[in-house]
Chains A and B, each alone.
Chain A
Amino acid sequence: MKDILVVHIYVDDIIFGSTNASLCKEFSKLMQDEFEMSMMGELKFFLGTQINHCKDGVYVIKYTKKLLKKFKLEDCKVMNTPMHPTYILRK
């Protein structure tokens, strides 16, 4: 199979990845020559999503702490599951 390069653009944010690292380098050079842009390096944040690199692969994590603060629930008691297995919601 041929190597592929995937580029994703959202307004002024851009991420790209490839099956071949040299393609990535070539693309970033091409972009930097053409446009004024700052290379941030390895992907860590994208549109509010945190990306963690580790030896197994890539972890995608959403920030939930801010959300708890927004609804003033930072001090709530922790639960193991999001819903009780036998609870029935009614109108």
Chain B
Amino acid sequence: MDQKLYRGMIGSLLYITTSRPDILFSVCLCERFQSDPRESHLTIIKRIFRYLKGTTNLGLLYRESLDYKLVGFCDVDYAGDRIERKSTSGNCQFLGENLISWASIRQATIVMSTAEAEYISAASCSTQLLWMKHQLEDYQINANSNPIYCDNNDVICLSKNPILHSRVKNFEIKHHFIREYIQKGILDIQFIDPEHQWDDIFTKPLTLERFDFIKKNLNMHFVFD
């Protein structure tokens, strides 16, 4: 098995992901096997190239607008990683209706509940959102109560009610910072039904129908010359 080839492929694909959110999850998944790749992993990565071949003219659309509202989405695939049983967070941020940032991250800790996994994902989504908010402030654009869409009601209740429940004692303190920002009114966490949770694309492999539906909603369209 040619390790150099595998790593070369990963490197090239990672570069492509800077404007192709659709392949981010698959590339990140393959990336984890870089230290000891097998033939089976090479087959998987070749499939990504086969997908790219059919979508060479897929572009990310940025519409002209004066809408400076920041919107975040956060989702998680609980224990999605089969080897270490860690969860996968998916985040994306929109400025107005344009997608400007996306991430697929395997969480650093193994968690005991979906609520905890979602809570960690919401926290990492808000750090990114806050950073963008500060960037916008440099251009004298002030935005408050930036919505974060989450499909887990436990997380929404936990973040709005700053009481330390006995059930959440195991949550790492650093993830609780989100409460402070919600109280200050800088962030606003809201419920979204799983159907409209675009972060599915960053947390798990999807069926063709769902994959194309989300791609369309992330403003990815085919460009014809």
Binding site for B on A (CB under 8 A): 1-2, 4, 6, 19, 49-50, 52, 54, 56-62, 64-65, 67-68, 70-71, 73-74, 76-91
Contact = CB atoms under 8 A, between A and B. Distances in A.
Contact of B54 (A58, A80, A87, A91): A80
B170 interface: no
Interface residues of B, number: 56
B50 A88 contact: no
Given A80-B211, A82-B205, 5 more contacts: A4-B139, A52-B223, A64-B16, A81-B51, A83-B29
Contacts of B22: 82
Contact of B48 (A60, A82, A85, A91): A82
B46 A76 contact: yes
A44 B115 CA distance: 45
Interface of B: 5, 8-9, 12, 15-16, 18-20, 22-23, 25-26, 29-30, 32-33, 36, 38, 40-41, 44, 46-64, 66, 82-83, 139-141, 204-208, 211, 221, 223, 225
Chain A interface, DSSP helix/strand/loop, else mixed: loop
Contacts of A59: 59-62, 221, 223
A73 B50 contact: yes
A28 B19 CA distance: 27
Contacts of B23: 82
Nearest to B50: A79
- Most B-side CB within 10 Å, residue of A1, A64, A71: A64
B224 to A, nearest CB: 10
B12 A67 contact: yes
Contacts of B38: 91
A68 B46 CA distance: 10
A81 B40 CA distance: 18
Which 7 A/B pairs are nearest by Cβ-Cβ distance?
A59-B59, A78-B54, A57-B63, A83-B205, A61-B59, A79-B50, A82-B26
Contacts of A79: 47, 50-51, 53-54
A78 to B, nearest CB: 4
Contacts of B225: 52
B63 to A, nearest CB: 4
B198 to A, nearest CB: 16
A80 B208 contact: yes
Contacts of A52: 59, 223, 225
Given A49-B19, A83-B47, A84-B205, A78 B62 contact: no
A5 to B, nearest CB: 10
